[in-house]
Amino acid sequence: MNSLTEENYLKALFNLADDKGEVSVNDLSKSLEIKMPTVNSMMKKLAEKKLVYYESYKPLRLTEKGKREAGLIIRKHRLTEMFLVGKMNFGWEYVHDIAEQMEHIKSPEFFEKMDELLGYPKVDPHGSPIPDKNGKIALKEYNKLSECQVGETVIFAAVIHTSSEFLKFLSNRDMHLGIKIKIKSIESFDKSMTIIYGKARTEILSNIVSERLLVEKV
Amino acid sequence: MNSLTEENYLKALFNLADDKGEVSVNDLSKSLEIKMPTVNSMMKKLAEKKLVYYESYKPLRLTEKGKREAGLIIRKHRLTEMFLVGKMNFGWEYVHDIAEQMEHIKSPEFFEKMDELLGYPKVDPHGSPIPDKNGKIALKEYNKLSECQVGETVIFAAVIHTSSEFLKFLSNRDMHLGIKIKIKSIESFDKSMTIIYGKARTEILSNIVSERLLVEKV
DNA sequence: CTACAAAGTTAGATTACACTAATAAAATTT
DNA sequence: AAATTTTATTAGTGTAATCTAACTTTGTAG
């Protein structure tokens, strides 16, 4: 059994992994706000437990076992978020901090029940996929809204780097997952984007915003 | 803010307190399965934090502040148990272990929402009172079934020392909170009790069992 | 009322997880 | 290619929460 601390390292490793699955000690240190020497020794410990491949001065990688355990923690986090929004009427901007604590609860039955009551959802309230019972995560073929062209119509599918302020910003403009968005124009000097959605509603989004919105092409 | 460990000591102190509010180091040690010297030093720490009155070789007592904080943890525990039974369809024998973990979650909004969704319940699924938002617990005037007389009719109101095996034992016999129980006879040699309840159902309960059932006189 | 047992305390060791300071390796800039 | 910066590691320290062993105080049984 892994400690709460170990679980937090595993989750951060999973979330920071690039396409090769590699993470630097430095990035992990910054993400967890824990100094590098502490991270370094924890990596040796996780390597002992066969959760991480560790070699001096090389990037870190989760083992299959590590990926599985991280995936299961993320599964608990995202199921909880879904439950809080779907069954307890929380707004999507309030659920992260609670899920951050609930994800460490040891009780397969509890999360099984949540999953069942929710009807086995595939994504969480922010559009992120929920890993399956083996910790496997389906990777979605989404595009950033910022990379779409003028004239395209897309479906708003997920948000990345979901701070509660940003989520409130979206809610205030009635921008919910699933809505259709048409790109009316893009300013060349700052890449700000004018979009149309809902009942002929128009908004101008800065590039900072459009980079955080993931969409599906129709 | 108290650590998870400190919270567990506070809760145990609250639950073990006798009518004077006194707890011995020894009892606390046994209850937590933590050796006496460890308990001893933790008591000094909690005394520093004004949560416990501590004097060498004297029984322990929670301060008002300590009682409040313990009560609030128990509130979270019992609200969770109620939620698991009432909103997630768990049997009453399965909820203790999950609540034991959830009671440490820091999020007033989460428990507020639970309370609201449950319609502000006064007792948990085992009949134990739920402390209010100030950690104050209403004390109930229940009697042990074992102390009732032949011929009396009482209402089953709560269980004490609720192990999951014992709760299953009761469920298997359709003995749920709120049912009427009539005492038909008591054997003098072992105090075993023959009762009638439900649809003219008869059962014989050992004294061990009847001591754990709390009832209200009608 | 003394002796022994039970309960409580003190002292010192251990483990997990964090830190700072110093050092070493790798990457980048000039 | 050398110098500099960034990243990574090692060594040593601190705190929280646990333990065992040894000692002290309190309560009780003869």
* Per-residue pLDDT reduced to its tens digit, B156-205: 999 997 799 999 999 999 999 999 999 999 999 999 999 999 999 999 99
For residue A80, the chain B residue with the least C-alpha distance is B110
Q: For residue B80, give the chain A residue with the closest CA.
A: A110
Contacts of B84 in chain A (CB under 8 A): 110
Residue nearest to nucleotide D6 (CA to C1'): A26
**More reliable by pLDDT, A141 or B128:** B128
Predicted pLDDT of residue B36: 98
- Rounded to two decimals, the pTM is 0.93
Contact flag A113-B90 (C-beta cutoff 8 Å) = yes
In angstroms, how far is C4 C1' from B7 CA?
A: 37
Q: Which of A88, A97, A117 sits opposite B113 (nearest CB)?
A: A88
Q: How far is B7 from chain A (nearest CA, A)?
A: 16
For residue range B36-57, what is the model confidence (pLDDT) as tens digits?
A: 999 999 999 999 999 999 999 9
A&B contacts, CB < 8 Å: 38
Closest nucleotide to A8, Cα to C1': C17
A59-76: pLDDT as tens digits: 999 999 999 999 999 999
Indicate yes or no: CB of A105 within 8 angstroms of CB of B101. yes
How many Å apart are A206 CA and D4 C1'?
38
Question: pLDDT digit string (tens) for B28-39?
Answer: 999 999 999 999
Measured CA B14 to C1' D14 distance, in angstroms: 32
- Residues 28 to 57 of B: which have CB under 8 A from any A CB? none
The per-residue pLDDT for A162 is: 79
- Closest nucleotide (CA of A38 to C1')? C18
What average pLDDT does chain A have?
Answer: 96
Percentage of chain A beyond pLDDT 70 is 100
What's the confidence (pLDDT) of residue A141? 87
Q: What is the pLDDT of residue A108?
A: 97
Question: What mean pLDDT is predicted for residues A38-55?
Answer: 97
B80-92 residue pLDDT tens: 999 999 999 999 9
Q: Is the pLDDT of residue B139 over 90?
A: no
Q: With b meaning 16 or more CB within 10 Å and e meaning fewer, what string describes A111-148?
A: bebbbebeeebebbbbbbbbbeeebebeeeebeebbeb
- Residue A209 scores a pLDDT above 90: yes
Mean of the pLDDT values across residues A147-164? Answer: 94
| pLDDT tier for residue B113 given thresholds of 50, 70 and 90 | very high
For chain B positions 78-137, those within 8 Å of chain A (CB to CB) are 84, 87-90, 94, 97-98, 101-102, 104-107, 109-110, 113-114, 117
